[in-house]
Chain A
Amino acid sequence: EVQLVETGGGLVQPGKSLKLTCATSGFTFNTAWMHWVRQSPDKRLEWIARIKDKSKNYATDYVESVKGRFTISRDDSKSGVYLQMNSLKEEDTATYYCTTIRNYWFVYWGQGTLVTVSS
């Protein structure tokens, strides 16, 4: 059974940092391209980051709104993917999901972790 479990969310002040972790199991993590998608309080979904596998040199891509502030990474030995979020803004408040693709579409999702940026 495929499982993705996100942790690390919480309440953080604007300008501060937070690191999210996604622990996975049940699929071949080493060759999977991993993504983070977030859902704002008004329920809008936004793709924010992707990391490819080793064969693609772990290349990363980001949505414009988080470039330079967020960093996606992975540890194949732990089947984990991470999202380091720096210089957080109130508009980053959202539930953050990790997800992976089958046949080019997001099929497997975690349960999400809530990040609230507020003073």
Chain B
Amino acid sequence: DIQMTQSPSFLSASVGDRVTLSCKASQNINKYLAWYQQKLGEAPKLLIYNANSLQTGIPSRFSGSGSGTDFTLTISSLQPEDVATYFCLQHNSWYTFGAGTKLELK
């Protein structure tokens, strides 16, 4: 089974900061990685798919990069509405989610 490891587990940042979240796969998953945002009480929302493609309707301050085993989600300028937990998901072999990074405002 493919394991997905996210870091950090918790991140505190200020409005306007550039924020970088990491996701590492236990084996090569090519570019079969997505990023989801989940706000309190809501279902996950797709932000990035195929490692670096921005989902329709998602602000351009979100971007993704990486391939193989190492992936990054970047928020170029943190906004108050970005407070959420962020999950990565691989589907190179079935589906596995990371444990999430909880992002809060400093």
Contact = CB atoms under 8 A, between A and B. Distances in A.
Interface stretch (A21-29, A66-74, A75-83, A107-115): A107-115
Interface string B58-95: 00000000000000000000000000010101010011
A35 B89 CA distance: 14
B7 interface: no
A109 B87 contact: no
Contact of A110 (B43, B87, B91, B97): B43
A55 interface: no
A44 B99 contact: yes
Given A45-B87, A45-B97, A105 B49 contact: yes
Contacts of A112: 43
Given A97-B43, A109-B43, A43 B85 contact: yes
Bin chain A's interface residue count.
20 to 34
Interface residues of B, number: 20
B49 A46 contact: no
B25 interface: no
A107 B46 contact: yes
A47 B97 contact: yes
B91 A104 contact: yes
B49 A45 contact: no
A51 to B, nearest CB: 14
